[in-house]
């Protein structure tokens, strides 16, 4: 083609030579047209096709004789006609490129990329069209694929992020999806361009190094349990999976985090309930069998103790320990219950006032204080004896958790369709390991505790369709117990 242009620019001015030269040039063009696998044609300034190569049969289905003499415009897609005409006519003296759709004999359209060269002396235009239909379709499919990926990424129900890889380690965030923002509490501009370590996203910093190490070894991550931390400090238990991808030439990780916090809590609750069920069955089967001989032993110890004054202190200690064992058995038996026995409606404030002097006395003996703030008038339905046991257990735990000089607060208030009991201590808070297993038998931080008191509380709450929530910090712990209000 360059040779054709050179031939045109080097035209000899002599008329005879010019005519011969032009004829030779046209002949060479026609020969070039016939040999090319691209669509090559010559048309005049009125858009009429002068000649076209045999490739037209293969590319658009028309034989040359079917198109010669016809207007090029007739073969252009209707949406392309005005643009192509204006573009070519405004650049008729220049070599230009454009893209348009061309009608095929079967009624379909193909995409062609055109190079047009003016042959001014002949008032004609030489055009070379390359079929780029497949390329256009691939580009369209790629765009559709990218669009589907971005929609899937953006609106995935799990937390998804794209993170750069730096020497086998987690790099900076490139993007995060809507769910990630919702759960973690950050805005995109607070995250993108920053490293996970900058935001302290991992509750345990060693987790990040562990993930990076596994990533370097295997190239991907699959369902790795990771404890994340949201912007407000809330811990989120996740399963982390990551796959390498390339984005705009940059090696990245597509990181998927599934929030299993609720599932993890439910799993622990199931284990706790299974343990309670086992203990309950054991208690129901053995409790009475153990109690009867214990009562006999206790009775004889009392009799012998009255006859042997020198050893009375030791006998009293043995009786006290038997009473403690009896109390533990009672708690075991309480765990074995499936439903409350004596249901009736009653006011929670009245029950609290009836046993509060006992709590106040216990606090006073330990140089502590206890205060009331009762604000409910609505009744709840339940076994008054069991509810009383729940409240006494929680209040005693609160007193035992505090240093001398501290206060215990017992409050009630109404919240929607619930009567809420709040027992607030000024202790040092609950250790994380204990907190995660609250209500599980034998889990306790007391030197002489059994861990059954709280287990009984959770069991009673469950039987009464009540909800226990715990808020703990270094400044103390609050147990909220939400009882459904009695329906009218």
pLDDT of residue 287: 61
pLDDT band at 432 (very low <50, low <70, confident <90, very high): confident
The string of pLDDT tens digits covering residues 192-243 is 988 888 888 888 878 888 888 888 888 888 898 889 999 988 889 999 998 8
Q: Quickly list H helices, 308-404.
A: 312-335, 348-365, 384-400
Q: What are the residue ranges spanned by the domains of the chain?
A: 2-131, 148-259, 264-335, 343-484
Please return the burial class of 291, using the count of CB atoms within 10 Å of its CB with bins 0-12, 13-18 and 19+: middle
CATH 3.30.450.20 assigned to domain 343-484? The reply is no
Ramachandran quadrant class, 40 (left: phi over 0; alpha: psi -120 to 50; beta: rest): beta
Instruction: Report, as an integer, the average pLDDT of 130-157.
Output: 83
Residues of the chain with pLDDT > 70, as a percent, come to 83
Is 7's pLDDT higher than 60?
no
Neighbours of 308 (CB within 10 A): 11
Please identify, in words, the CATH class of the domain defined by 148-259. alpha beta
Which residue did the predictor score with more confidence, 345 or 145?
345
Sheet order of strands, 39-44 included? 49-52, 39-44, 124-131, 109-119, 96-103
Instruction: Count other Cβ atoms within 10 Å, centred on residue 169.
Output: 17
Angle between helices 312-335 and 452-463 (to 10 degrees): 30
The CATH class for the domain spanning 2-131 reads alpha beta
DSSP H or E stretch at residue 184: helix 178-184
Fold identical between 148-259 and 343-484?
A: no
**pLDDT reported for residue 215:** 82
- Backbone φ and ψ for 100, nearest 5 degrees, come out as -150, 165
Question: What is the rounded average pLDDT of the residues 350-354?
Answer: 92
Please tell me the predicted confidence (pLDDT) of residue 394.
94
> Which of 79-83, 310-314, 449-453 has the highest average model confidence (pLDDT)?
79-83
């Amino acid at each position: 083609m360059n040779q054709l242009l050179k031939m045109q620019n080097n035209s000899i001015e002599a008329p005879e030579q010019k005519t011969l030269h032009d004829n030779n040039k046209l002949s060479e063009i026609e020969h070039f047209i016939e040999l090319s696998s691209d669509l090559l044609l010559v048309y005049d300034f009125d858009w009429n096709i002068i000649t076209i190569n045999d490739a037209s049969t293969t590319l658009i289905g028309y034989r040359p004789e079917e198109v010669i003499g016809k207007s090029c415009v007739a073969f252009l897609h209707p949406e392309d006609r005005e643009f192509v005409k204006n573009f070519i006519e405004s650049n008729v003296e220049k070599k230009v490129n454009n893209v348009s759709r061309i009608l095929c004999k079967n009624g379909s359209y193909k995409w062609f990329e055109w190079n047009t060269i003016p042959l001014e002396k002949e008032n004609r235009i030489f055009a070379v069209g390359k079929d780029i239909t497949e390329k256009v379709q691939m580009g369209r499919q790629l765009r559709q694929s990218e669009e589907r990926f971005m929609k899937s990424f953006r609106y995935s129900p799990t937390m998804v992020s794209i993170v750069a890889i730096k020497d086998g380690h987690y790099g900076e965030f490139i993007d995060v999806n809507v769910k990630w923002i919702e759960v973690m509490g950050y805005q995109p501009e607070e995250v993108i361009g920053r490293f996970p370590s900058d935001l302290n996203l991992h509750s345990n910093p060693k987790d990040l190094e562990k993930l990076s190490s596994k990533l370097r070894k295997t190239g991907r991550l699959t369902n790795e349990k990771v404890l994340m931390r949201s912007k407000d400090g809330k811990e989120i238990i996740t399963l982390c999976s990551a796959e390498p991808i390339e984005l705009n030439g940059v090696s990245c990780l597509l990181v998927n985090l599934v929030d299993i916090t609720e599932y993890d809590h439910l799993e622990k609750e199931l284990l706790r309930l299974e343990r309670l069920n086992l203990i309950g069955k054991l208690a129901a089967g053995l409790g009475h069998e153990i109690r009867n001989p214990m009562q006999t032993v206790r009775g004889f110890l009392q009799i012998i103790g009255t006859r042997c004054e020198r050893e009375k202190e030791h006998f009293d200690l043995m009786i006290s320990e038997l009473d403690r064992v009896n109390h533990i058995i009672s708690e075991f038996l309480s765990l074995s219950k499936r439903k409350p026995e004596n249901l009736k409606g009653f006011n929670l404030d009245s029950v609290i006032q009836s046993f509060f002097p006992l709590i106040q006395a216990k606090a006073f003996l330990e140089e502590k204080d206890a205060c009331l703030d009762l604000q409910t008038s609505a009744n709840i339905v339940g076994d008054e004896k069991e509810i009383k046991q729940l409240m006494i257990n929680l209040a005693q735990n609160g007193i035992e958790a505090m240093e001398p000089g501290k206060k215990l607060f017992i409050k009630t208030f109404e919240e929607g369709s619930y009567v809420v009991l709040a027992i607030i201590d000024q202790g040092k808070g609950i250790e994380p390991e204990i907190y995660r297993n609250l209500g599980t038998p034998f889990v306790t931080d007391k030197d002489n505790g059994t861990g059954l008191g709280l287990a009984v509380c959770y069991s009673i709450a469950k039987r009464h369709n009540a909800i226990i929530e715990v808020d703990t910090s270094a400044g103390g712990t609050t147990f909220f117990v939400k009882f459904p209000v009695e329906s009218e």
